[in-house]
Copies of this chain bind each other. A is one copy, B any other.
Amino acid sequence: MSLFRPAIDRTAAYVPGEQPQESGWVKLNTNENPYPPSPRVADAIAAATSRLNIYPDPLGTSFRKAAAGLFGLDADWILPANGSDENLTILLRAFIDPGDVVLSPYPSYILYETLAGLQDGRYERLVLNPDWSWDFDAIAARVANAKLVFVPNPNSPSGNRWSDEDLLKLLPPHGILVVDEAYGDFCDQPHRMELLHRPEGKRIVVTRTLSKSYSLAGLRLGFAVAHPELIAGMRKIKESYNCDGLALAGGEAAILDQAWMLENRRKVLATRARLTSRLREAGFHVVDSQANFVWATHPAGGHKAIYESLKSNRVLVRYMRFPGALAGKTGDESIVDGLRITVGTDPQVDRFLEVLASRSA
């Protein structure tokens, strides 16, 4: 007999993208930034390494001030976490009692469903229209009853971005809207957290990560931005020392070097445009992306075989398959699948296109 909670036995573990630890791969599968972080990060980490025998600042105040400064806010609007994933878990544990309703769009980031299951929440998918827009008539009643709605914006795997007007329609009247902006820095027009300053803003949490735009996936550092009352409640749940001294120091240095991040962003956006054009020339349908990846589908299908053929040439992209993603269809007819391709360096993208072309030749 299992001693684990039924919710744990019921929940399948979330499977992250493949992470080969050996070199030699063109790795376009987990939306990492192909460029190194600011050199100031390594300096800050080296300096902090001399203080490893003592505990870090439990509140990460110096980091919070730097992150808050990005949006003209005070430090008490910021909750640093051990990767944005920790903030997502904290939000579930803050607001969801057994049976409370948790919603997120579909197809989208599937971790929300796993996290809701671990917390015994009642998770439901909000199936998107085939063009990645919302079917508000179909979902309004469920949003009205929800405790927590997660919306990645830009969305993954599609890369599209929804408007503030759309987001406000997804805010439950007696619950919290979480806007997961892991890819927010790659938008053509980054915002300044205007949504949080509206009256409804007291029920909105924005999550950010340093993994993508700041090239720090290996450091595990994210932060939530929300009204100080929400941050204070969330803080009760975090581990006392949830962010280590190296991450806090390195993350602060990265944020303070905006010029470095923006130059990497500029390169990613240029390559994104080129990758999108070349894929379209090759007959793929590609969503206009506001993130550091593109979602490509081919009218002829065969996406899994393309993924496998790329992998056998040591080019990793993400094959994703979403059963039940087309409203009104059932079984195989309801499946949406495709390839999510991270925007790498130009040579990485060239290698990807070369293998892709050799396959269809």
Q: Which A residues fall within an 8 A CB radius of B? A: 2-9, 11-14, 16, 19, 21, 27, 30, 32-37, 41-42, 45-46, 48-58, 82-83, 85-86, 89, 93-98, 111, 118, 120, 147, 174-176, 203, 211, 215-220, 233, 235-237, 239-247, 250
Query: A27 CA to B53 CA in the complex, in Å?
Result: 12
Q: Which residues of B contact A11 (CB under 8 A)?
A: 236
Given contacts A19-B55, A36-B52, A52-B216, 8 further A-B pairs with CB under 8 A are A16-B241, A33-B53, A36-B53, A42-B49, A52-B250, A85-B240, A217-B241, A218-B246
Q: Which of B94, B120, B239, B246 is in CB contact (< 8 Å) with A45?
A: B246
Which residue on chain B has the smallest CB distance to residue A242?
B82
Q: Which of B4, B33, B241 is in CB contact (< 8 Å) with A83?
A: B241
In the complex, 8 of the A-B residue pairs with CB atoms within 8 angstroms, ordered by the A residue number, are A3-B175, A3-B176, A52-B218, A56-B218, A82-B86, A217-B241, A219-B244, A220-B244
Q: Which residues of B contact A37 (CB under 8 A)?
A: 52-53
Q: Which of B14, B21, B32, B245 is in CB contact (< 8 Å) with A57?
A: B21
Q: Which residues of B contact A97 (CB under 8 A)?
A: 5-7, 120
Q: Known contacts A3-B174, A54-B217, A245-B218: does B239 contact A89 (CB below 8 Å)?
A: yes
Q: Which residues of B contact A34 (CB under 8 A)?
A: 53
Query: A110 CA to B4 CA in the complex, in Å?
Result: 24
In the complex this chain forms, how many copies of it are found?
Answer: 2
Query: A215 CA to B217 CA in the complex, in Å?
Result: 25
Q: Which residues of B contact A21 (CB under 8 A)?
A: 57
**Chain B: minimal CB distance from A262 (Å):** 16
Identify which of A33, A203, A216, A233 gathers the most chain B CB atoms within 10 Å of its CB. Answer: A233
Q: Which residues of B contact A45 (CB under 8 A)?
A: 45, 49, 246
**Chain B: minimal CB distance from A348 (Å):** 13
Identify which of A48, A54, A93, A211 gathers the most chain B CB atoms within 10 Å of its CB. Answer: A54
Contact B53 A3 (CB under 8 A): no
Q: Known contacts A21-B57, A37-B52, A218-B246: does B239 contact A203 (CB below 8 Å)?
A: no
Query: A82 CA to B250 CA in the complex, in Å?
Result: 17
Q: Which of B4, B56, B233 is in CB contact (< 8 Å) with A8?
A: B233
Q: Known contacts A45-B246, A242-B82: does B5 contact A52 (CB below 8 Å)?
A: no
Identify which of A2, A174, A236, A247 gathers the most chain B CB atoms within 10 Å of its CB. Answer: A236
Query: A247 CA to B83 CA in the complex, in Å?
Result: 14
Query: A94 CA to B120 CA in the complex, in Å?
Result: 12
Query: A244 CA to B2 CA in the complex, in Å?
Result: 31
Q: Which of B3, B30, B240, B245 is in CB contact (< 8 Å) with A16?
A: B240
Q: Known contacts A8-B94, A52-B37, A85-B239: does B244 contact A218 (CB below 8 Å)?
A: yes
